[in-house]
């Protein structure tokens, strides 16, 4: 009897803006009832259509800083508007311990922090099919100025250079295909030898004897 580890997979997904990683993550959660999408914490104001604990965990700056000092974040960052964002440990550990797979969508800087803290996590980089397609997707959003889009496009080149620090790369030329590829990666990871916790060899001679008798 082979016993495998019950602990879920911790899957960290990154990629340049416009690669479609958010849509891929939502598709993975929808297709897999055993997958939980990690919720980040932030100090920014809650928008009218947002729910605490669903979109973000909304904290005051004092609450956030106290949690930093208590070591309650896997990673955190202060963004340009002087707001804090971070990944809480507690909920992730809670789901992983129950055997649930956890997906964390995060930028590359945050992913590299997590590599230092939890090196045995699964790191997947989402790529657009081409830089031309990435440019088209950014323009089609119609939500940013030309200057902002140029800034994002330049940042994408820098981010793609970090691809060698990830375990897998998935090209998102089709959402359904990208989801299937990541599902396949997850299945393969769960078949790894290092996930075997125990191989029970009790009464091995007896089992061999019984099988030999049955073949006569």
The predicted-structure confidence for 9-42, as pLDDT tens digits, reads as follows 999 999 988 889 999 999 999 999 999 999 999 9
Structure tokens at 79: 């963004």
Average pLDDT over residues 186-192: 93
pLDDT of residue 3: 74
CATH fit for domain 2-38+99-214, picks 3.40.50.300, 1.10.287.470, 3.40.190.10, 3.20.20.70: 3.40.50.300
pLDDT of residue 199: 62
pLDDT of residue 37: 97
pLDDT of residue 213: 58
Structure tokens at 11: 């899957």
pLDDT greater than 80 at residue 143: no
pLDDT of residue 145: 75
Domain spans of the chain, in order of start: 2-38+99-214
| CB atoms inside a 10 Å sphere around CB 20 | 22
Spatial distance between the Cα atoms of 56 and 39, rounded to a whole number of angstroms: 6
Predicted TM-score (pTM) of the model is 0.83
Q: What are the residues facing 57 on neighbouring strands?
A: 41
pLDDT tier for residue 129 given thresholds of 50, 70 and 90: confident
DSSP state of 43: -
Spatial distance between the Cα atoms of 42 and 27, rounded to a whole number of angstroms: 24
Nearest to 22 by CA among 180, 167, 178: 178
Average pLDDT over residues 189-215: 69
pLDDT of residue 173: 92
pLDDT greater than 80 at residue 211: no
> Is 162 within 8 Å of 107 (Cβ atoms)?
no
pLDDT averaged over every residue in the chain: 87
């Amino acid at each position: 009897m082979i016993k495998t580890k019950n602990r879920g997979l911790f899957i960290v997904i990154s990629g340049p803006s416009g690669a479609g990683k958010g849509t891929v993550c939502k598709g993975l959660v929808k297709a897999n009832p055993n997958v939980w999408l990690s919720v980040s914490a932030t100090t920014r104001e809650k928008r009218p259509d947002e729910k605490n604990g669903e979109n973000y965990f909304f904290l005051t700056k004092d609450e956030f800083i106290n949690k930093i000092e208590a070591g309650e974040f896997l990673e955190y960052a202060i963004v340009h508007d002087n707001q804090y964002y971070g990944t809480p440990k507690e909920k992730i550990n809670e789901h992983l311990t129950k055997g649930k797979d956890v997906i964390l969508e995060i930028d590359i800087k945050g992913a590299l922090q997590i590599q230092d803290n939890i090196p045995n996590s699964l790191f997947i980089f989402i790529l657009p099919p081409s830089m031309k397609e990435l440019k088209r997707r950014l323009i089609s959003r119609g939500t940013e100025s030309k200057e902002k889009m140029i800034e994002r496009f330049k940042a994408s080149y820098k981010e793609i250079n970090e691809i060698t620090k990830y375990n897998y790369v998935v090209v998102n030329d089709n959402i359904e295909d990208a989801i299937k590829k990541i599902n396949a990666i997850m299945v393969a990871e769960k078949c790894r030898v290092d996930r075997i916790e125990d191989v029970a060899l009790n009464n091995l001679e007896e089992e061999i004897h019984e099988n030999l008798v049955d073949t006569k």
